[in-house]
Every structure is written in structure tokens, then in C-alpha cells.
């Protein structure tokens, strides 16, 4: 176990105790010597963790303490780097830039040993897909957050075009395509729209009448039901 993981475990153990717990109890639970436990307590206090107490009296973590960003395990760092690198290669330019910026902010506050782990991770992301959208996915994401209707021109797999007015509530990222999940006013049902087949995107500014969380829950329930025959519009 790395030292950063041990410090994280110590924080989690202290969270479970609402009353002061002796250093010996903490050391036994973590499987370390009492001397190591005292050093770890001092390290956490030096990093700003509000741990009250002292040797012989016991220790308690004050409520409301949030873990600082340096408290990542090795696998958590790998997950963060892999996810950020994947997003950074997506066609959504604003989201890609945000992923790169977020990773830089995390790296800036990590201690030297963890920053080296972040820079040296061997989990890589493949090349970006050639399927590029003619629409701004950032506009779609904003409409989802604001619960606003979207209008656009949609072309199915055979090239047939139709005008749509939808209530967007989710955006799925696949290796080669991005898919918007929405309630389609024309079909009066949930539909999946490939972003690379959408054009002439229009934000209406009209709030749709349902909450996106409710629609997401209802849509997920339909995934377990028997699937209907695929439509010609290319949506499920």
C-alpha cells in the first residue's frame, strides 16, 4: 500500500468514529506501528485535516471535513487520467478543453510523488474518431442543463431529411458517434439521434414541460422492455 493510500484509509477510519479513538486502536486497525500512526496523524494535520487529540488521549476528526484533492489512490489517479484523456479527444471542443484544464488543475495540487504517477500512467486512449458533427455539442449540453427544446434537421441512414423539435435530456458518447437522447414531439416517444446526422441546430429558448431527471428515469425503464422495430429515422 502506498503512503497516499494509507493516509486516505486513516481519514476514512477516523470518519467512522464519532468519539476520540486511541492511537493504538487506529494503528491496529491499519496494521501499522504506533510510531507510523503518529507520523501519519501529524502529516494529515499538517495538510489541514482538522484532527483533534494527542498521544494517550485519542484522536477525532471534526465533522464536515472534505478530502483535499491530493488524497487519491493509484487506481483513482489512473481513472482520472484515462477519463480525462478520453474526453480530451472527443469532438466536443469545449468539453475536451475542460477535461484538459481539469487534469492540469488536479496535477497542480498533487504532491510530487503523485504528480509523477499521473504523468507516467501507461493507460492510453486511441485516436479520435473521424465522424465529426456539424453541430456544436456544447449547445446540446447547455439545452439539457437548462431543459430547453431543440429544433434541428435530421437525416436518417438513407439520407431522408425531417425537421424535429425535441426535449433533450441525455447525451451518450461512443467511440465513433455521439447520440442525443430526447423526447421527440413528432414521434411522441423517446428517440435517439446521432449527432453526425443533425444540422441547422436551433435553441428555441422554450422550457419543456417535464424535468429531465424524470424523463431519464422513464427512458431507462424502457430499455428493459421489449424493443420496438427500428424506425427509418435512424433512432431506436
Is residue 202 within 8 A of residue 150, CB to CB? The reply is yes
At 125 the pLDDT is 79
- Phi, psi torsion values for 157, nearest 5 degrees: -60, -25
How many angstroms separate the first and last alpha carbons of the chain? 47
- Phi, psi torsion values for 211, nearest 5 degrees: -80, 140
Each domain of the chain, given as residue ranges in start order, spans 3-61, 74-120, 137-223
Taking only the tens place, the pLDDT of each residue in 57-66 is: 889 988 766 5
Taking only the tens place, the pLDDT of each residue in 185-213 is: 999 999 999 999 999 999 999 999 999 99
Taking only the tens place, the pLDDT of each residue in 143-178 is: 999 999 999 999 998 989 999 999 999 999 887 889
**What residues are paired with 167 via a beta bridge?**
183
At 64 the pLDDT is 65
Confidence band of 71 (pLDDT split at 50, 70, 90) = low
CATH class given for the domain over 3-61:
mainly alpha
The structure's pTM equals 0.61
Amino acid at each position: 500500500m502506498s503512503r497516499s493510500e494509507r493516509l486516505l484509509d486513516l481519514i476514512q477510519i477516523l470518519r467512522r468514529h464519532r468519539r476520540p479513538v486511541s492511537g493504538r486502536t487506529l494503528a491496529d486497525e491499519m496494521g501499522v506501528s504506533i510510531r507510523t500512526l503518529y507520523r501519519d496523524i501529524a502529516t494529515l494535520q499538517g495538510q489541514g485535516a482538522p484532527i483533534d487529540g494527542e498521544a494517550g488521549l485519542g484522536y477525532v476528526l471534526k465533522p464536515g471535513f472534505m478530502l483535499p484533492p491530493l488524497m487519491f489512490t493509484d487506481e483513482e489517479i489512473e481513472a482520472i487520467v484515462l477519463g480525462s484523456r478520453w474526453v480530451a479527444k472527443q469532438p466536443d471542443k469545449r468539453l475536451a478543453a475542460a477535461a484538459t484544464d481539469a487534469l492540469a488543475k488536479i496535477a497542480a495540487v498533487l504532491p510530487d510523488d503523485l504528480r509523477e504517477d499521473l504523468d507516467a500512467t501507461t493507460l492510453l486512449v486511441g485516436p479520435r474518431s473521424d465522424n465529426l458533427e456539424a453541430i456544436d455539442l456544447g449547445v446540446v449540453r447547455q439545452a439539457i442543463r437548462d431543459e430547453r427544446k431543440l429544433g434541428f434537421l435530421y437525416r436518417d441512414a438513407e439520407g431522408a431529411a425531417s425537421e424535429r423539435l425535441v426535449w433533450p435530456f441525455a447525451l451518450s458518447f461512443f467511440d465513433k458517434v455521439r447520440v442525443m437522447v430526447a423526447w421527440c414531439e413528432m414521434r411522441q416517444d423517446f428517440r435517439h439521434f446521432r449527432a453526425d446526422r443533425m444540422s441547422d441546430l436551433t435553441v428555441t429558448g422554450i422550457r419543456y414541460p417535464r424535468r429531465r431527471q424524470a424523463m431519464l428515469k422513464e427512458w431507462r425503464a424502457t430499455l428493459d422492455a421489449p424493443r420496438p422495430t427500428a424506425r427509418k429515422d435512424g433512432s431506436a
